[in-house]
Chains A and B, each alone.
Chain A
Amino acid sequence: MTEHVYSAPRDWTRVHPVSPLLGGWAFFGLLAAYLIHQRLPDWVDGGDETFAFFDRFPLLGLIVAAFLGFLVAISVSVWQWRRTTYRIGDDAVYLRQGIVTQQQRQARLDRLQAVDVVQPLLARIFGFAALNIQVAGGDKSGVELKFLRLGDAEALRNEILALAAGARDTRDDAAPGQAPGDAPGVATGAAPASAPRLRDLGAHLSERADALSRPDDILHGTERVRTAVAATEERPVYSVPPGRLFGSILLSGATFTLLTMLLIGGIATLFFNVDVLGGLVAAVGTSLVAGVTAIAGLLGIFWTRFNGGFNFAAGISADGLRLRHGLTETRRQTVPPGRVAAIRLHQPLLWRAKDWWRVTINVAGYGNSNESVSVLHPVATRDEALRAVWLVLPDLGDPDPAGTLGRAMSGVGEEGGFLTSPDAARRLDPFQWRFRGVRATDRALLIRRGRWERELFVVPHERTQSLGLTQGPLRRSLGLANVEVHSTQGPVKPVAAHLALEDARVLLDAQAERAREGRRHQTPEQWMRAVGLHG
């Protein structure tokens, strides 16, 4: 049995050779098969004697089409795999890819925002993982390596995090005289210096069979694999029991909508003798696709929440915040300290009785694209919500952080030093004007809103990008203004609405000053250097 030895790929390296089989080939293969099959009848059923053979076996056409489809999809994947190479340097991760146009991308480690180990279902069963390296710099600026052996992916992640933290690689196996940035295109045709080989696969698979005999660990995402570079020690902070997640989904707005629709349908049927069921069947019958899409869309909302939040667990380590979640596709996120730009705590109306909160964050690299990566806690109790905020901001800069946050989550009026909307706001915002509140601690700005459903924004001062003061004609006539805190791209968009103009002006100036002060003391990008752990 050949032992697979991991070494940090300082030379151009290909991702694992089984990658083409783990990718989206099944989907694209089916799509291609479908398209081919759709085209078939034109010449198959055209009365052409040559193809009369297919008329006798209608399924044969489909099988041939499927085979061709998969063949095309896999060849393209293999070709892509051959053209994809990566390596890591002390300052960046480099990726070269592309069939027609070769593209080289580098993810600078001093701009690192998050590193995710993602395992779709198939990859998870066979012990592979994709590594997503997110850097600041707009959409699509990150590097995605798929797929690597799970152990390699974790080792690479740990090494990248160590490098980004400012701990230079001190092992002596990093070859000397290595040029840090090869010119793109020079080595395009050349074989990569090192590559995981297919013959290691046997060893990997036998190891895997061993792991599969303990399916519980895989199911719960707590699988331990050998990694050459150990992860920094992690302390668990909270986890979400599946029961609560399920309950939170049942109590969501989507359920409410569904029940309302059923109720309306029921009333219409019983009291007004409208044949709702018949109508529905007729409507769905006319377009199966539309019916399936509608159902899938509705179930999709539940499914996304459930799938993304399943087995959600968070922990803290020297590398930063660690999140782990997912039912079919598991995702292990590591967000280094100081990368979270804003936090939003939201309590929908139906969650009030349970006092549950959904906590979302802005991390520059994640962008707007995918909501599932921006969740810090899918359904938190009040205590866990406080801990979630603590994960991001260990020091809230307030003598009584729990009390202040508590009042920020469900307070009224000026109690606790909150700046609230003036009486004039009552006419514009009759229900929640007294529930709006803004308060700055030494480290963060808290913005509260909501009477029935509640919302709280927490923005660390040093992460504030810019500030805005806005006023339309309506607010102007009432002497009100909004203060916007511009955060990085993401689902959290903090606004302090309906403040008295004078208060808003003072807040804007004070907040600009606090942000200035915060920037002066902010965590450096290389967080280990900040505390002098590595020189």
Chain B
Amino acid sequence: MSWYENAQAPWIYVSRRLITARLVSLWITMGVLILVGTAAAVLGSLFWLLLLPAAAVIAGLWGTFLVFRQVTAHAWAEGDEDLMVKRGRMFRSVTVVPYGRMQFVDVKAGPLDRALGIATVQLHTASPGTDASIAGVPADEAARLRDRLTTRGEARLSGL
């Protein structure tokens, strides 16, 4: 289901490995909270402190739910003239970026992303409002996407 159907090009959904990446970083944070909270509660015999790990577990489960929903809604489409990026389910947005407006493209991948073979591709325009980053693009595809975007951007380059 898509709330915005573009006529130009099919949506390409991001890799499911992004779910793993986001879950790992989410549960590392939550794990630390759970461990610290439990240890403090047990060692200090302050059992109300157990609320902290309990809250962390609930937040973690909610976060897990959100990660699944968000990642499966995150997609991009390469039209003839514009790149489209779709994200979110509850707070959803579609950004349409003309290739000619592209100033530069970033490809970023942290250690976890590299281990999973994914990367974030971000398109920058002269506007700070343009939110055109695509997370969870398979690494080889990210490089190709960057090259394609650069080529198209140069072909259609216009001033500001």
CB pair A466–B132 under 8 Å, yes or no, is yes
Q: Bound complex: CA of A473 vs CA of B158, how far in Å? A: 37
Q: Mark A126-139, 1 if CB is under 8 A from B, else 0.
A: 00000000001000
When distances are taken between beta carbons in the complex, the residues of chain B under 8 Å from A476 are 92
Tell me the chain A residues, 457-475 only, with Cβ under 8 Å from chain B. 462-463, 465-473
Q: Indicate whether A163 reaches chain B with its CB closer than 8 angstroms.
A: no
* Given contacts A463-B160, A470-B92, A471-B91, A364 and B126 within 8 Å (CB-CB): yes
Q: Taking the nearest CB of chain A, how far is it from the CB of B103, in angstroms?
A: 8
Q: Known contacts A512-B98, A516-B81; is A136 also within 8 Å of B92 by CB?
A: no
In whole angstroms, what is the CA distance A522 to B81 when docked? 16
Q: Are B92 and A512 in contact (CB under 8 A)?
A: no
Bound CA–CA A471/B94 (angstroms): 9
**A486 interface residue, CB < 8 Å from B?**
yes
Q: Is B130 in the interface zone, CB < 8 Å from A?
A: yes
B9 to chain A: closest CB distance in Å? 13
Contacts of B78 in A (CB 8 A): none
Q: Which of B79-105 contact A (CB under 8 A)?
A: 81-82, 90-98, 100-101
Is A44's CB within 8 Å of the partner chain B? no
Query: Known interface pairs A471-B91, A512-B82. Does A489 touch B126 (Cβ–Cβ under 8 Å)?
Result: yes
Rounded to whole Å, the gap between the CB of A500 and the closest CB of chain B is 13
Whether a CB of chain B sits under 8 angstroms from the CB of A515 is yes
Of B81, B94, B98, B126, chain A has the most CB atoms within 10 Å of the CB of B126
Q: Is the CB of A467 within 8 A of B91?
A: no
Complex contact A467–B96 (CB within 8 A)? yes
Interface residues on A, range: 35 or more
Residue of B81, B92, B125 most packed against chain A (CB within 10 A):
B92
Cβ contact within 8 Å between A469 and B4: yes
**With A and B bound together, what is the CA distance between A524 and B90 in angstroms?**
42
> For window 108-133 of chain B, which residues contact chain A by CB distance below 8 Å?
125-132
A455 in the interface, Cβ–Cβ < 8 Å? Answer: no
If the complex has contacts A465-B130, A512-B82, A519-B158, are A486 and B125 also in contact, measured as CB distance less than 8 A? yes
0/1 string, B1-45, CB within 8 A of A gives 1: 001101100000000000000000000000000000000000000
Contact A515 B160 (CB under 8 A): no
Q: Is the CB–CB distance between B131 and A468 below 8 Å?
A: yes
B94 contact from A341, A469, A487, Cβ within 8 A: A469
Q: When the two chains form their complex, are residues B160 and A489 in contact, meaning their CB atoms are under 8 A apart?
A: no
Nearest chain-B residue to A364 (Cβ)? B160
**Is A451 interfacial (CB 8 A cutoff)?**
no
User: A470 contacts which chain B residues (CB < 8 A)?
Assistant: 91-94
Question: Do B127 and A486 touch across chains, with their CB atoms under 8 A apart?
Answer: yes
- B126's partner among A338, A465, A509, A515 (CB-CB below 8 A) is A465
Q: Are A466 and B91 in contact (CB under 8 A)?
A: no
Cross-chain contact B100 with A468 (CB below 8 angstroms) = no
Q: Which residues of A contact B125 (CB under 8 A)?
A: 465-466, 486
Least CB distance, A177 to chain B, in whole angstroms: 31
Cβ-defined contact, B127 with A467, below 8 A: no
Contact A469 B130 (CB under 8 A): no
Smallest distance from the beta carbon of A155 to chain B beta carbons, Å?
Answer: 26
Q: Does A305 contact B (CB under 8 A)?
A: no
Given contact pairs A471-B91, A516-B81, A508 touches B126 in the complex (Cβ within 8 A): no
Q: How far is the CB of A510 from chain B (nearest CB, A)?
A: 11
Task: Give CA–CA (A501, B97) in the complex, Å.
Answer: 20
What separation, in Å, do the CA atoms of A475 and B103 have in the docked complex? 32
B156 (CB) vs chain A CBs: closest residue: A519
Q: Mark A491-528, 1 if CB is under 8 A from B, else 0.
A: 00100000001000100110010011001001011000
A484 lies within 8 A of chain B by Cβ: yes
A505–B36 CA distance with the chains assembled, in angstroms = 48
Known pairs A468-B95, A488-B160, A516-B81; A505 contacts B4 (CB<8 A)? yes
Q: Are A486 and B159 in contact (CB under 8 A)?
A: no
Nearest B residue to A342 via CB reads B127
- Our pick among B92, B101, B158 for the contact of A466 (Cβ within 8 Å) is B101
B82, B91, B129, B159: the one contacting A487 at CB < 8 Å is B129
Beyond A471-B91, A472-B91, A484-B129, whether A466 also contacts B96 by CB under 8 A is yes
Q: A465-B126, A473-B91 are in contact. Are A522 and B96 (CB under 8 A)?
A: no
Provide the residues of chain A in CB contact with B129, threshold 8 Å: 465-466, 468, 484, 486-487, 493
- Tell me, rounded to whole Å, the shortest Cβ–Cβ distance linking B5 to chain A: 8
Q: Which residues of the partner chain A approach B158 to less than 8 Å between Cβ atoms?
A: 462, 519, 522
Task: With CB as the reference atom, state the residue of chain B lying closest to A525.
Answer: B159
B98 contacts A466, C-beta separation under 8 Å: yes
How far is A473 from B93 in the complex, measured between Cα atoms in Å?
12
Looking across the interface, which residue of chain B has its beta carbon closest to that of A519?
Answer: B158
* Complex-state Cα separation, A525 to B160, whole angstroms: 9
Shortest Cβ distance from residue A477 to the other chain B in the assembled complex, whole angstroms: 11
Closest to A526 in B: B159
The distance in angstroms between the C-alpha atoms of A505 and B93, with both chains bound, is 11
| Contact present for B96 and A512 (CB under 8 Å) | yes
**Pair A488/B96 contact, Cβ less than 8 Å:** no
Complex contacts, A525 vs chain B, CB 8 Å: 159
Contact between B101 and A468, CB atoms less than 8 A apart = no
Provide the residues of chain B in CB contact with A493, threshold 8 Å.
129
- Taken together as a complex, chains A and B put the C-alpha atoms of A505 and B132 apart, in Å, by 18
Contact of B98 among A339, A364, A515 (CB under 8 A): A515
Kindly provide the distance from the CB of B45 to the nearest chain A CB, expressed in whole angstroms.
Answer: 43
Chain A residues with a Cβ under 8 A of chain B: 111, 113, 136, 338-339, 341, 364, 462-463, 465-473, 476, 484, 486-489, 493, 501, 505, 508-509, 512, 515-516, 519, 522, 524-525
What are 19 A-to-B residue pairs whose CB atoms are below 8 Å? A136-B160, A341-B160, A364-B160, A465-B125, A465-B126, A466-B97, A466-B129, A466-B130, A468-B95, A468-B129, A468-B130, A470-B94, A471-B92, A486-B129, A487-B129, A509-B7, A519-B98, A519-B156, A522-B159
Q: Which 8 A-B pairs have the closest CB atoms?
A: A465-B127, A486-B129, A486-B127, A470-B93, A466-B97, A469-B94, A466-B130, A465-B125
16 further A-B pairs in the complex, CB-CB below 8 A; given A466-B127, A486-B127, A512-B82: A111-B159, A463-B160, A465-B97, A465-B101, A465-B129, A466-B97, A466-B101, A466-B132, A468-B130, A469-B4, A469-B95, A470-B92, A471-B3, A472-B91, A473-B91, A522-B158
